[in-house]
């Protein structure tokens, strides 16, 4: 069954000059990167968004996922098509190789004024070295995804350290104090499609879920209006504008939405599901499931 309302993305902080006030003081991002350098890093990583998603879906999910290009999972915004039982399919891979990725990344860095040091095997601009850390949970799917991404970036000469944390430690040591440069994590958007907690600037501090510390006044307005609007069509129009802003600002690299896979007997009919928030929601239309049908006179059903 497809279309779960879960998405996985790489969230990248905005740079050391953007300080977020907290009760404990202020967060200072490591390595002394300027906002411009963080912008370059976000541009560089998001440039390969689609191909990275395809590669992860193929290698880690074995084809059972949907590649994303924005903050809203498939089957939530606009017309929702029921997910019906279908045969397990073959993998469909991307066309871009690691070497092509590396060449494109090196070209972008060179155009940005960076120089590759053959001796140190790193990209440098004056005294600044292009390096960053990627944090994620020590869970099989997340750790494997992080290694696939890191492999691509290292092929381009970008120095990246992957830090894995137990889920409880990730929450207390990394997520809550916003102690990271880039973090690989998932979001459950839900059927209500309330994106406020994930992207509004007021949610940058714990317990908010704005993991990229994204700040955009127009985006804030659209999110607030979308949360207050009860008209579905109007809300979708507001969120479409928000998606365009996110595509322009690139606060995160969106990777994939995993698929919920369930085996269904060929004799079972009437199984149609939309977007799933939890596994239990596959039973929402269980009253329509059936195996046999019989013809009856109209007099017995009217």
φ/ψ of residue 58, rounded to 5: -70, -50
The 3-state secondary structure of the chain reads CCCECEEEEEEECCCCCCCCEECCEECCCHHHCCHHHHHHHHHHHHCCHHHHHHHHHHHCCCCCEEECCCCCCCCCCCCCCCECCCCCCCCCCCCCCHHHHHHHHHHHHHHCCCEEECCCCEEEECCEECEEEEEEECCHHHHHHHHHHHHHHHHCCCEEEEEEECHHHHHHHHHCCCCCCEEEEEEECCCCCCCHHHHCHHHCCCCCCCCCCCCCHHHHHHHHHHHHCCCHHHHHHHHHHHHHHHHHHCCEEEEEEECCCCCCCCCCECCCECCECCHHHHHCCHHHCECCCCCCCHHHCC
Question: Which CATH number is 153's domain given?
Answer: 3.10.105.10
pTM over 0.85: no
User: pLDDT confidence of 82, banded at 50, 70, 90?
Assistant: low
Joined together, the tokens standing for residue 161 give 């350290």
Q: Tell me, what's the pLDDT at 229?
A: 92
155 with 101: CB under 8 angstroms?
Answer: yes
In this prediction, residue 91 carries a pLDDT of: 41
Q: What pLDDT digit, counting tens, does each position of 25-58 carry?
A: 222 222 334 555 556 666 666 665 666 778 888 8
Mean pLDDT over each residue of the chain, to the nearest integer? 78
Q: Is the pLDDT of residue 19 over 70?
A: no
How far apart (Å, rounded) are the C-alpha atoms in residues 80 and 277? 14
Task: Identify whether the C-beta of residue 136 lies closer than 8 Å to the C-beta of residue 10.
Answer: no
Structure tokens at 83: 């997910």
Asked if residues 211 and 185 have their Cβ atoms less than 8 Å apart, the reply is: yes
pLDDT grade for 89, boundaries at 50, 70 and 90: low
Domain that residue 232 falls in: 6-300
CA distance 132 to 38: 10
Looking at residue 216, its pLDDT comes to 94
225 pLDDT band, cuts 50/70/90, is: very high
Q: Is residue 1 part of a domain?
A: no
Does the pLDDT of residue 3 top 80, yes or no?
Answer: no
pLDDT band at residue 127 using 50, 70 and 90 as cut-offs? confident
User: Does residue 92 surpass a pLDDT of 50?
Assistant: no
Q: How many domains does the chain have?
A: 1
* Cα–Cα distance list, 263 to 28, 291, 293 (Å): 48, 15, 22
Q: Tell me, what's the pLDDT at 138? A: 95
**Span 240-257, pLDDT tens digits:** 999 999 988 888 888 888
Residue 85 lies in a domain: yes
Tell me what pLDDT residue 42 has. 65
Burial tier of 212 (Cβ tally within 10 Å: 0-12, 13-18, 19+) = buried
pLDDT, tens digit, for every residue of 131-187? 888 899 999 989 999 998 888 888 888 888 999 999 999 999 999 998 888 889 888
Q: Is the peptide bond before 207 cis (omega within 30 degrees of 0)?
A: yes
pLDDT confidence band for 15 (50 / 70 / 90):
very low
pLDDT at residue 99, rounded to an integer: 62
**Of 47, 28, 30, 50, which Cα lies nearest the Cα of 39?**
47
Q: Please state which of the ranges 157-166, 229-238, 253-262 shows the lowest mean pLDDT.
A: 253-262
In the chain, % of residues over pLDDT 70:
74
Q: Largest Cα–Cα distance of the chain, in whole Å?
A: 87
Which pLDDT does position 45 carry in this prediction? 66
State the Cα–Cα distance between residues 138 and 165, nearest whole angstrom: 5
């Amino acid at each position: 069954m497809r279309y779960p309302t879960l998405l996985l993305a790489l969230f990248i902080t905005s740079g050391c000059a953007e300080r977020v006030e907290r009760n404990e003081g202020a967060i200072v991002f490591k390595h002394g990167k300027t906002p411009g350098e963080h912008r370059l890093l976000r541009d560089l990583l998001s440039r390969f968004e689609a191909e990275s998603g395809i590669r992860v879906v193929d290698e880690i999910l074995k084809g059972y996922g949907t590649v994303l290009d924005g903050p809203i999972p498939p089957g939530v915004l606009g017309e929702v098509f029921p997910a019906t039982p279908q045969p397990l399919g073959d993998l469909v891979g991307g066309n871009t190789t690691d070497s092509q990725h590396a060449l494109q990344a090196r070209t972008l860095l060179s155009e940005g004024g960076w120089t590759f040091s053959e001796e140190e095997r790193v990209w440098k601009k004056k005294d600044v070295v292009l390096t960053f850390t990627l944090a994620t949970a020590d869970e099989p799917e997340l750790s494997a995804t992080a290694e696939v991404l890191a492999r691509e970036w290292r092929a381009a000469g970008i120095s990246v350290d992957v830090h894995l944390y137990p889920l409880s430690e990730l929450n207390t040591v990394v997520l809550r104090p916003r102690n990271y440069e880039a973090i690989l994590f998932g979001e459950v958007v839900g059927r209500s499609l309330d994106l406020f907690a994930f992207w509004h600037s007021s949610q940058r501090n714990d317990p908010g879920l704005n993991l990229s510390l994204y700040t955009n006044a127009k985006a804030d307005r659209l999110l607030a209006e979308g949360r207050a609007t009860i008209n579905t069509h109007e809300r979708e129009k507001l969120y479409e504008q928000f998606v365009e802003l996110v595509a322009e600002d690139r606060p995160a690299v969106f990777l994939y939405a995993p698929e919920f896979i369930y085996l269904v007997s060929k004799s079972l009919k009437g199984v149609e599901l939309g977007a799933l928030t939890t596994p239990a929601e596959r039973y929402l239309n269980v009253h329509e499931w059936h195996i046999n049908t019989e013809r009856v006179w109209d007099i017995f059903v009217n």
